[in-house]
Amino acid sequence: MTALNFPASPTNGDTYSANGLSYSYNGTAWIRSGDPGAQGAQGYQGVLGAQGDVGAQGAQGAQGYQGRQGADGAQGAVGAQGNQGVQGDVGAQGADGAQGAVGAQGNQGYQGAVGAQGDVGAQGNQGRQGAVGAQGNQGRQGATGPIGGSNTQVLYNSSGSTAGSANLTFDGTNLTCGGTVTSNSDEKLKTNVRTIENALDKVSSLRGVEFDYIENGTHSLGFIAQEVEKVIPELVFGDDPKSVAYGNLTAVLIEAVKELRAEVSSLKEEINKLKGNN
């Protein structure tokens, strides 16, 4: 038989085995435990008796060996789910009703005729020119001075000569010509010629204004050069001040009238078709 040799510094609950015996430490002394026998089959649980008084708790004995866990019983089979009933057929969707006919559009009234332009009044007779006075002796011609200086002089030839005429006057602000003013427009002088497009839209974007000149208070009609430049920059010249080539605007107006006439003709055809359908 082996001598007992307990641990020197046990703690509560420590166990020790020697010579086939088991001991447990209860915090004060080593207590011998009974030999664990084979665990018998678990009997039926008896009727639960009345609970007695709770006695003083004895020292905890050594935990016996845990018996083998019994096999789990077989789980019963799940019953078969009943068959789902057949879904009934969906009824046929009824036909859509016919859409009502669109009412006929009323006839558009005829555009009134453009009134005839009144006749231009006859130009009054030009007064008789007064008799020419006797010409004085011609003095010696002085040295030719530099050209310029007066804003009322009009140069009429390449030599820089000036002349006055009853048919061409310039008062420093207004230039008046008794004849016809023309611009070079010969085909042989031009290239990259194209018809003006969207002329009606361009004319619609212009704003005709009436105004007073700041310098002399004269009331007049026309355009603002900066506004014209945003729509038809080809008509604006200069920088400070800017000027507008009013005569060149005629080409834009002509193409705008032609576009407008095409629209009117198209509307007339639609009107005639509507009349024919009625």
Query: Each residue of 94-113: pLDDT tens digit?
Result: 666 666 665 556 555 555 55
pLDDT confidence of residue 25: 87
Q: Given a cut of 50, is residue 246 above it in pLDDT?
A: yes
pLDDT confidence of residue 190: 94
Compare 17 and 69 and report the one with higher pLDDT.
17
CA dihedral 134, 138, 139, 141 (to 10 degrees): 140
Q: Given a cut of 60, is residue 116 above it in pLDDT?
A: no
Q: Given a cut of 90, is residue 48 above it in pLDDT?
A: no
What pLDDT digit, counting tens, does each position of 77-96 carry? 766 776 776 776 766 666 66
Q: Given a cut of 80, is residue 68 above it in pLDDT?
A: no
Alpha carbon separation from 93 to 87, 89, 90, 96, 203 (Å, rounded): 18, 12, 9, 9, 58
> Average per-residue pLDDT in the chain?
76
Average pLDDT over residues 149-154: 49
pLDDT confidence of residue 47: 72
Q: Given a cut of 60, is residue 192 above it in pLDDT?
A: yes
Compare 26 and 194 and report the one with higher pLDDT.
194
Compare 145 and 162 and report the one with higher pLDDT.
162
Average pLDDT over residues 202-209: 96
Q: Given a cut of 70, is residue 122 above it in pLDDT?
A: no
Q: Given a cut of 70, is residue 230 above it in pLDDT?
A: yes
What radius of gyration do the chain's Cα atoms show? 62
Alpha carbon separation from 212 to 141, 209, 215 (Å, rounded): 44, 10, 9
pLDDT confidence of residue 242: 95
Q: Given a cut of 70, is residue 201 above it in pLDDT?
A: yes
Compare 22 and 52 and report the one with higher pLDDT.
22
Q: Given a cut of 70, is residue 221 above it in pLDDT?
A: yes
pLDDT confidence of residue 146: 44
pLDDT confidence of residue 148: 46
- Going by pLDDT thresholds of 50, 70 and 90, the confidence category of residue 27 is confident
DSSP string covering the chain:
-PPP---SS--TT-EEEETTEEEEE-SSSEEEEPPP-PPPPP------PPP-PPPPP-PPPPPPPPPPPPPPPPPPPPPPPPPPPPPPPPPPPPPPPPPPPPPPPPPPPPPPPPPPPPPPPPPPPPPPPPPPPPPPPPPPP-PPPPS-S-TT--B-STT--B--BTTEEE-SS-EEESS-------GGG--S--PPPSHHHHHHH---EEEE-TTT--EEEE--HHHHHHH-GGGEE-SSS-EE-GGGHHHHHHHHHHHHHHHHHHHHHHHHHHHHH-
pLDDT confidence of residue 89: 73
